[in-house]
Amino acid sequence: MSTRSLVLIALFTAIIVVLGLIPPIMVGFFPVAIQVQSLGVILAGVVLGARGGTLSVLLLLALVAIGLPVLSGGRGGLAVFVGPTAGYLVGFLPQAFATGWVANSVVARGLKGWKLLGGLFLAGVVGVVINHVLGVTWLSIAAGLNFSDAVIGNLIFVPGDLAKAALAAYAGQLVVTNLGTRSRV
């Protein structure tokens, strides 16, 4: 792996960490907070592709596992991998991969303008859906919620996550338009 690739992977891990510094907003009765950190995961997949985005998130998860407080709300350590939000956290990995894989396909087609933006938005949405499925499934198990209640409670996060996918698509379009496929790792 080239030095350039390693730097980009570390850079996007740092972006994910910095977005985690923005304080989360708790939503009443639901044990999951609204946070911006997942925007970094979508960005990593859209900009770096499947391989680079996945490696960025893997590095983040390693930092969490060794106890660094790099998650939203200053959390870290092995305990977060078994808490009610663990499905969303572990879901970052397949989210980054799927987002990157779809984004790679979109970029490889040579799409331009609105088609590129729409394709990258679709990539972000695919990742969001995967993350929500894993997050809600684990949440219902860990918090002892009925699955349908967990799904209904999760709906509050959908508009924000679609906005994150749109922001990441726009940023990805700017990168692809200005750098071409050189941003891929």
The number of domains in the chain is 1
- For residues 164 and 140, what is the distance between their CA atoms, to the nearest angstrom? 24
Q: 114: domain CATH number?
A: 1.10.1760.20
* Averaged pLDDT score across all residues of the chain: 93
Could you read off the pLDDT of 104-130 as tens digits, one per residue?
999 999 889 999 999 999 999 999 999
Q: Print the domain residue range for 83.
A: 3-183
**Which of 52, 41, 70 has the alpha carbon at shortest distance from 167?**
41
Could you read off the pLDDT of 15-27 as tens digits, one per residue?
999 999 998 887 7
Could you read off the pLDDT of 76-113 as tens digits, one per residue?
999 999 999 999 999 999 999 999 999 999 999 988 99
Number of helices and strands in the chain (H, E)? 6, 2
User: 3-class SS at 101?
Assistant: helix
Distance between terminal CA atoms of the chain? Answer: 9
Q: Are 120 and 168 in contact (CB under 8 A)?
A: yes
